[in-house]
Amino acid sequence: MADKKNMVIAQSGGPSSAINASIAGAISRAMAAGEIGKVYGAVNGMQGFLDRKLISISDQITTSDDIDTLIHTPAQALGSSRYKIPKGVEGDAVFARILEILKEYDIGYFFYNGGNDSMDTVCRVANYFKEHGEDIVAVGIPKTIDNDLAETDHTPGFGSAARYVAASVAEVYLDTIVYPLPAVTIVEVMGRNAGWLTAASVLARDTGVPAPHLIYLPELPFDPDDFVARAAELIRKEGQIVVAVSEGIKYADGTYIADTGAAEDMFGHKTLGGVASALESLLKGKSGISGLKSRAIMFSTLQRAAAHYASATDLSESYECGRRAVEAALAGRSGVMITIQRESSEPYLIRYAEGALDNIANEEKTVPLEWISDGGTNVSQEMVDYLRPLVRGEAAETHVGGLPRFFRFDWTKTVGPGE
């Protein structure tokens, strides 16, 4: 690239509380050095890019305080999208349009920050540029609370969600035991196919509580009779227990447990009852424990947006992934995603590397079955050792008056080429 090219960055997939640390890292690196011209952001991912919803980050981020605040702001500050580029001829037209917009804005560097689907998108974009001899690099920046991306030890966003889940499970346990009555609290954790985040509930035990007493991941089929037998025995023995369950657990026949909890609401809509409610009903109906107090808690979007309890380790790694994505791009490496490679868990040592997007796109890294223990109701010590370093460190938040401040881009201030 002869002259100074501009860059564009966009975000996609589901929110996390560390995703903006990654764009903060990329933006800082791009703005600090002289190799890059303007820094554009596409609002609402690829969909927004195709609609030319480009804003000038160079104009909207003006102080280091903006960067600090952005790091601690949860959920895509540039918005997200679930858009997928179609295959075949239709897709070719989209790629041509992408190229057209990039050239209009004189962009030489394209960054996409997201999970599996997003890595597939940036992979295809990078491959298209290569095949067409275009001198534009496309680099992926990993993000997902599901921790299910291939080629990386773990994903930015996971550690913060894991920290929230672990602390919340411990707190919920202390709340569950206050009355001398048989009680069960079932907490439902995100992760449709990969159980990493549900597994992280195990770290609640590091706070000195015995919860969670049972942990169910989606990697193994769920046996309702075995669950009822184990839970009832534990309740009889302990009095009160907490069960952590992935939203994605299935019966042996492949149907989701969540579906069986479905009930019709007041308008006759079939609502997904949620796994936790389904298991709660199951226990109430079949445990044989009279007066069983039960509660189902869905961590819902709280677990992926709880920036107020982010892991400092996660935020700094997320930032670094963004920073290194810009360096990889400047070195001309396209079609790669920044990865984290673990050298050791204790002491915790990592190094950053790059993985080929061709090996990452559409792959899903689930929990190794040998890390699931006790007949599919617990996780192994290897899992605990793997998880512990990821939740460490309290993020220095940007609080005013006891509450966080958030950074918000003005999504309506779109700019044309050259602006």
Of residues 378-417, which lie at the interface with its own copies (CB under 8 A)? 388, 391-394, 397, 399-406, 408
Measure the CA dihedral 10/15/21/26, to 10°.
-10
Q: Which CB atom, from 99 or from 298, has the smaller least distance to its own copies? A: 298
Binding window for its own copies (CB under 8 A); candidates: 60-68, 108-116, 190-198, 306-314 = 306-314
**Alpha carbon distance 233, 378 (integer Å):** 16
Q: Which CB atom, from 218 or from 273, has the smaller least distance to its own copies? A: 273
Given 23, 42, 57, 75, the residue binding its own copies (CB under 8 A): 75
Q: Is 263 in the site for its own copies (CB under 8 A)?
A: yes
Residue 259 falls in the annotated catalytic set? no
CB 395 within 8 A of CB 310: yes
- Which residues, 6 or more positions from 301, have their beta carbon under 8 angstroms from its beta carbon? 15
Candidates 146, 148, 153, 314; catalytic one? 146
Q: Which CB atom, from 260 or from 366, has the smaller least distance to its own copies? A: 260
CB of 333 to its own copies, least distance (A): 29
Q: Which CB atom, from 36 or from 245, has the smaller least distance to its own copies? A: 245
Residue with tokens 């680099």: 139
Nearest in space to 297 (alpha carbons), one of 145, 180, 168: 168
Q: Tell the burial category of 202 from Cβ atoms under 10 Å away from its Cβ (0-12, 13-18, 19+).
A: buried
Given 174, 229, 349, 369, the residue binding its own copies (CB under 8 A): 174
**Sites for its own copies among residues 77-106 (CB under 8 A):** 79-82
**Sites for its own copies among residues 214-233 (CB under 8 A):** none
CB of 159 to its own copies, least distance (A): 9
DSSP secondary structure letters along 211-272: --SEEE-TTS---HHHHHHHHHHHHHHHSEEEEEEETT-B-TTS-BHHHHT-EE-TTS-EE-
Given 17, 116, 121, 287, the residue binding its own copies (CB under 8 A): 17
**Sites for its own copies among residues 101-160 (CB under 8 A):** none
**Alpha carbon distance 198, 245 (integer Å):** 6
Active site residues: 146
